[in-house]
Amino acid sequence: MAHEHHQELIQALHDCSLHCNICFDECLNDTEHLDMLSNAIRLARDCADTCAFTEQAVARNSQFHVRLAGYCAEVCDTCADECEKHGHHDHCMRCAEACRRCAEACRTIA
Protein backbone atom coordinates (compact mmCIF):
# COMPACT_ATOMS: atom_id res chain seq x y z
CA MET A 1 0.00 0.00 0.00
CA ALA A 2 1.18 3.52 -0.79
CA HIS A 3 0.80 4.83 2.74
CA GLU A 4 3.27 2.23 4.06
CA HIS A 5 5.88 3.16 1.45
CA HIS A 6 5.42 6.89 1.94
CA GLN A 7 4.98 7.15 5.71
CA GLU A 8 7.83 9.69 6.02
CA LEU A 9 6.27 11.85 3.31
CA ILE A 10 2.82 11.62 4.89
CA GLN A 11 4.28 12.71 8.24
CA ALA A 12 6.18 15.62 6.63
CA LEU A 13 3.00 16.76 4.86
CA HIS A 14 1.01 16.54 8.08
CA ASP A 15 3.65 18.42 10.10
CA CYS A 16 3.94 21.12 7.46
CA SER A 17 0.19 21.64 7.33
CA LEU A 18 0.12 21.91 11.13
CA HIS A 19 2.98 24.44 11.31
CA CYS A 20 1.52 26.49 8.44
CA ASN A 21 -1.82 26.67 10.24
CA ILE A 22 -0.12 27.75 13.47
CA CYS A 23 1.90 30.37 11.57
CA PHE A 24 -1.24 31.58 9.78
CA ASP A 25 -3.06 32.00 13.09
CA GLU A 26 -0.14 33.64 14.91
CA CYS A 27 0.43 36.08 12.05
CA LEU A 28 -3.26 37.04 12.07
CA ASN A 29 -3.00 37.72 15.79
CA ASP A 30 -0.12 40.15 15.20
CA THR A 31 -2.45 43.02 14.35
CA GLU A 32 0.36 45.54 14.67
CA HIS A 33 2.21 44.03 11.67
CA LEU A 34 -0.59 42.68 9.47
CA ASP A 35 0.51 44.64 6.42
CA MET A 36 4.05 43.27 6.66
CA LEU A 37 2.77 39.72 7.24
CA SER A 38 -0.02 39.65 4.67
CA ASN A 39 1.90 37.62 2.09
CA ALA A 40 3.09 35.17 4.75
CA ILE A 41 -0.50 34.74 5.91
CA ARG A 42 -1.73 33.99 2.39
CA LEU A 43 1.12 31.61 1.62
CA ALA A 44 0.84 29.76 4.93
CA ARG A 45 -2.84 29.17 4.26
CA ASP A 46 -2.19 28.01 0.70
CA CYS A 47 0.59 25.74 1.89
CA ALA A 48 -1.46 24.23 4.73
CA ASP A 49 -4.29 23.39 2.33
CA THR A 50 -1.94 22.06 -0.36
CA CYS A 51 -0.13 19.83 2.13
CA ALA A 52 -3.38 18.51 3.61
CA PHE A 53 -4.75 17.67 0.17
CA THR A 54 -1.47 16.08 -0.95
CA GLU A 55 -1.31 14.05 2.28
CA GLN A 56 -4.73 12.60 1.51
CA ALA A 57 -3.79 11.87 -2.11
CA VAL A 58 -0.60 10.07 -1.08
CA ALA A 59 -2.40 8.10 1.64
CA ARG A 60 -5.02 6.82 -0.77
CA ASN A 61 -2.50 6.24 -3.60
CA SER A 62 -4.26 8.67 -5.91
CA GLN A 63 -3.16 8.53 -9.52
CA PHE A 64 -2.22 12.22 -9.11
CA HIS A 65 -0.11 11.92 -5.96
CA VAL A 66 3.25 12.18 -7.74
CA ARG A 67 2.28 15.35 -9.61
CA LEU A 68 0.67 16.80 -6.51
CA ALA A 69 3.87 16.16 -4.56
CA GLY A 70 5.84 18.11 -7.15
CA TYR A 71 3.42 21.02 -6.92
CA CYS A 72 3.39 20.81 -3.14
CA ALA A 73 7.20 21.09 -3.04
CA GLU A 74 6.94 24.32 -5.03
CA VAL A 75 4.30 25.75 -2.69
CA CYS A 76 6.34 24.72 0.38
CA ASP A 77 9.49 26.38 -0.96
CA THR A 78 7.59 29.59 -1.71
CA CYS A 79 6.06 29.64 1.76
CA ALA A 80 9.44 28.93 3.38
CA ASP A 81 11.07 31.77 1.42
CA GLU A 82 8.45 34.19 2.69
CA CYS A 83 8.44 32.99 6.30
CA GLU A 84 12.23 33.20 6.46
CA LYS A 85 11.86 36.95 5.85
CA HIS A 86 10.10 37.10 9.23
CA GLY A 87 12.72 35.21 11.23
CA HIS A 88 12.13 37.33 14.29
CA HIS A 89 8.88 35.37 14.72
CA ASP A 90 9.49 31.87 16.08
CA HIS A 91 6.32 30.54 14.47
CA CYS A 92 7.51 31.76 11.06
CA MET A 93 10.86 30.02 11.47
CA ARG A 94 9.19 26.76 12.58
CA CYS A 95 6.89 27.04 9.59
CA ALA A 96 9.81 27.63 7.22
CA GLU A 97 11.69 24.63 8.63
CA ALA A 98 8.64 22.37 8.28
CA CYS A 99 8.13 23.64 4.72
CA ARG A 100 11.74 22.88 3.76
CA ARG A 101 11.50 19.33 5.19
CA CYS A 102 8.21 18.78 3.40
CA ALA A 103 9.50 20.09 0.07
CA GLU A 104 12.46 17.72 0.32
CA ALA A 105 10.20 14.78 1.17
CA CYS A 106 7.86 15.64 -1.73
CA ARG A 107 10.76 15.67 -4.15
CA THR A 108 11.61 12.08 -3.23
CA ILE A 109 8.55 10.91 -5.17
CA ALA A 110 7.94 13.80 -7.59
- Distance of alpha carbon 82 from alpha carbon 61, whole angstroms: 31
With beta carbons less than 8 A apart as the criterion, state whether 13 and 72 touch: yes
User: Residue 2's pLDDT band (boundaries 50, 70, 90)?
Assistant: low
Specify the CATH number for 2-107; select among 3.40.140.10, 3.30.450.20, 3.40.50.450, 1.20.1270.360: 1.20.1270.360
Domain range annotation of the chain:
2-107
* Neighbour tally for 14: CB within 10 Å: 16
More confident residue, 1 or 80: 80
- Distance of alpha carbon 21 from alpha carbon 99, whole angstroms: 12
What is the DSSP code string of the chain? -HHHHTHHHHHHHHHHHHHHHHHHHHHHH-GGGHHHHHHHHHHHHHHHHHHHHHHHHHHTT-TTHHHHHHHHHHHHHHHHHHHHTTTTSHHHHHHHHHHHHHHHHHHTT-
- Predicted TM-score of the model (pTM): 0.94
Q: What is the pLDDT of residues 74-108, one digit of tens each?
A: 999 999 999 999 989 999 999 999 999 999 999 99
Q: Give me the sign of the Cα torsion angle 60, 61, 62, 68.
A: positive
